Amino acid sequence: MSFESDLPAPRISDLARVDARPADYLQGLNPEQRAAVEAVDGPVLVLAGAGTGKTKVLTTRLAHILATGRAKPWELLAVTFTNKAAREMRERIAHIIGPSAEGLRWLGTFHSVAAQILRKHAELVGLKSSYTILDTDDQERLIKQVLEAENIDTKRWTPKALAGLIDHWKNRGWRPDQLPPAEAQAFANGKGQSLYRLYQERMRILNACDFGDLLLHNLTIFTSRPDVLAEYHDRFRYLLVDEYQDTNVAQYLWLRLLAQKSQNLCCVGDDDQSIYGWRGAEVDNILRFERDFPGAKVVRLERNYRSTSHILAAASGLIATNKGRLGKTLWTDSQDGQKVVVRGIWDGDAEGRLIADEIEKAKRAGRKYRDMAILVRASFQMRAFEERFVLLQIPYVVIGGPRFFERAEIRDAIAYLRLIQSPDDDLAFERIVNTPKRGIGDTTVQRLHVLAAQRPKSLHDESPLFDGRTGEIIPLGEASGATRYRSLT
């Protein structure tokens, strides 16, 4: 397979411009940052403390690989944890090297890169390339259908609980047939494994997958088809990973498979900032990097450009008690600044009163409301503050709320598009079959479920419609395209 053929070829003038000034982008780096940028070949672990210029090192390192001719843009794999981080990285690289950054096709989140790979090889795991990616709401709706079909009490054994369990299994890289005995007996009195298998089979019929499947299917493809893995070994000459301390087992296995040939893997992270264990992150991934990749170079970024010395001292004093870390000492040239103040309170209501008093005190001292902000860890914590502010008539604005794509009308529109792309997407079909109102109730949909399960087929194939041209009742899946979608609109 030729991987370059589907990419726009960079202009010679662009590449020449990058090579013309190979050292300019290194200006302004401190010695540790420069060492991390120039340690290109072989495994590298960059321990980047908070505020030490991590993003600058990441982008400059990619630019350095391109500028020195070690690889073309499409031969680099760079994965981040958020789309925002990926966009920022791409923008910074473009600022350094110009238009040739457009060829960085494989710069994105773990899931977005895995989705691209799966689109090319979907048939190897029983899917079509037009597969649909389910969000959390659709995933729980599908699980509820599976539970009800198995006569399991969904109030006692909730779809949300099973969704969390399945997500945990996928984060560990376990397919249904790979579950350890203790895990297989989990949920609904020992039915965890069979429910997981039924859920996966149902998604195959719907030509769908959830976010955990993106990496899990990649692992299945890479381990069962060495020829496909070899193609990606040839494609990715250099690999770079951001926030490595937050990788889970599936992401770790995925990276190891892709890097096992070239060994040109650079992982950037901070073992002191691993806070996502609750969602599957394994800090051990970063702690054992040197064992996984013998001879790896370790670079510590310890100069902090963000905080004052008082803040760094408080943070360092706390984290020093953690024995499960590689160790580093942050320092700064900044002045001491204000000292950290820690207040103990009984509950959320007491916290609301305390913060409101501080705000009123600052307002009387001449500060403006727009110069004050409250950061909370979770949205439920805002209620106590809001109730207090309303009582004291303190004006405020809440930043957050339902995301645009979570609004009902947007989800409805997307469901229509999903059904057009993948007619087997039952979840999308259920969402729009009576939107707008067409007199199709839950009883009719349940009957369609029974018919579809007997085949097995999708609801779309079993749904009857009245053909205005012939006067016949025919399955929706057998209707012509025009008749099919006219019946739903």
Global pTM?
A: 0.76
* Residue 10: pLDDT over 70: no
What integer pLDDT is reported at residue 50 of this predicted model? 84
Q: What percent of the chain has pLDDT over 90?
A: 48
CA distance 386 to 352: 8
| Nearest by Cα to 104 from 112, 94, 114, 95 | 94
What integer pLDDT is reported at residue 4 of this predicted model? 38
For 279-313, b where at least 16 C-beta lie within 10 A, e where not — what string? ebbbbebbeebeebbeebbebbbebbeebbbebbb
Give tens-digit pLDDT for 457-467: 666 665 555 44
What integer pLDDT is reported at residue 108 of this predicted model? 93
Estimate to the nearest angstrom the gap between the alpha carbon of 127 and the chain centroid. Answer: 21
Pick the CATH number of 4-116+216-304 from 1.20.1440.230, 3.30.230.10, 3.30.9.10, 3.40.50.300: 3.40.50.300
- pLDDT category at 278 given cuts 50, 70, 90 is low
Which of helix, strand or coil describes residue 208? strand
Give tens-digit pLDDT for 354-378: 999 999 999 999 999 999 999 988 8
Query: What average pLDDT does this structure show over 81-106?
Result: 84
Largest CA distance in the chain: 84
What integer pLDDT is reported at residue 402 of this predicted model? 58
Q: Which of 91-100, 425-434, 471-480 is predicted least confidently? A: 471-480
DSSP state of 76: E
Query: What average pLDDT does this structure show over 463-475?
Result: 46
CA distance 340 to 230: 53
CA distance 305 to 53: 7
Tell me if 74 sits within 8 A of 106, measured CB to CB. yes
CA distance 139 to 96: 41
DSSP state of 257: H
Question: Do the bridges between strand 208-209 and strand 44-48 make them parallel or antiparallel, or are there none, so unpaired?
Answer: unpaired
Give tens-digit pLDDT for 107-157: 999 999 999 999 999 999 999 999 999 989 999 999 999 999 999 999 999
Strands (E), 362-426: none
Amino acid present at 41: D
What superfamily would CATH give domain 407-486? PCRA; domain 4 (1.10.486.10)
Q: Does residue 411 or residue 385 have the better pLDDT?
A: 385
Q: Provide the residue count of the chain.
A: 489
The alpha-helical segments, DSSP class H, found in 68-109 are 83-97
| Nearest by Cα to 187 from 211, 219, 153, 231 | 153
Tell me if 130 sits within 8 A of 207, measured CB to CB. yes
Phi, psi of 299 (to 5 degrees): -120, 130
Tell me if 430 sits within 8 A of 459, measured CB to CB. yes
Average pLDDT, the chain: 84
Tokens representing residue 343 in the block: 């207040």
Pick the CATH number of 132-206 from 1.10.357.10, 3.40.980.10, 1.10.10.160, 2.40.50.250: 1.10.10.160
What integer pLDDT is reported at residue 355 of this predicted model? 95
Q: Which of 52-66, 272-286, 390-404 is predicted least confidently? A: 272-286
Residue 429: which residues within 8 A CB-CB, separation 6 or more?
Answer: 415, 419, 458, 459, 460, 463
Which of helix, strand or coil describes residue 327? coil
Tell me if 301 sits within 8 A of 332, measured CB to CB. no
Q: Which of 267-271, 273-277, 336-340, 371-375 is predicted least confidently? A: 273-277
What integer pLDDT is reported at residue 22 of this predicted model? 42
Q: Does residue 325 or residue 350 have the better pLDDT?
A: 350
For the chain, domain boundaries? 4-116+216-304, 132-206, 348-392, 407-486
